[in-house]
Amino acid sequence: RVHGGLLFQMSDGSTRKRKREDEAPVDGEGAAAATAASVEKGPGPKPKKRKQLRKEAEAAAKAAAAAAGPDPNAKPDPNAKRDALSYLSLYVNARDSWKFKKVRQTYLLVHMYDHEVIDEPHFEQLLQYIAGLQGAARDTTKAAARAVIVAYEAKAASKSEPEPAAAAPESAESGAAAAAVPKSDDGPSELKFQRAVAVVAALES
């Protein structure tokens, strides 16, 4: 036995050294597998970094949900409207007793274009509240109101353009069927547009 391998006696009296199996060179396929294994076992993100990534993902999900508005399938809270309007009235009429509550503010800003939730007297109070918004809430509210204005003006411009001449119907029946199909009227309503203009004016005053 010699270092690094085995020594064998041949029939002709000579000797030949054979390498040990555990010292055999690794072929290309084996090297690739070893490399992949080492990468797979490589160090992952540190716990602190994983925690930060999770927080950022949660914040992004909350922002997306707020931009999308209320879930139409969600069961409404029967007390949410009452509590939000009371919070708003307290801000306007008894500022010393008022205390900021994010959940109330979110409800008001989400529903501020819905006249069934916020009537005109409460909307006038809401404009005073909006004028005092700060930070991201102020920027987001202003951007959303401007988007409503742009969408309404685009809708009005499309209505003012002359419509292309419609092709003659093949028969009276087909013409009646075409007339029965309601035309789409997408875009903000007049009331929503007027409220958006008031919101922008309150934020720029």
> Per residue in 105-137, pLDDT tens?
999 999 999 999 999 999 999 999 999 999 999
Helices (H), the chain: 28-40, 47-68, 80-93, 102-110, 120-131, 135-160, 172-180, 190-204
What token pair was written down for 118? 């916020």
Residue 16: per-residue pLDDT? 56
pLDDT digits (tens, 9 = 90+) for 64-112: 555 445 555 555 677 999 999 999 999 999 999 999 999 999 999 999 9
7, β-bridge pairs: 17
Write the pLDDT tens digit of every residue in 134-153.
999 999 999 999 999 999 99
pTM as predicted: 0.55
What's the pLDDT at 194?
96
d(C-alpha 184, C-alpha 114), whole Å: 21
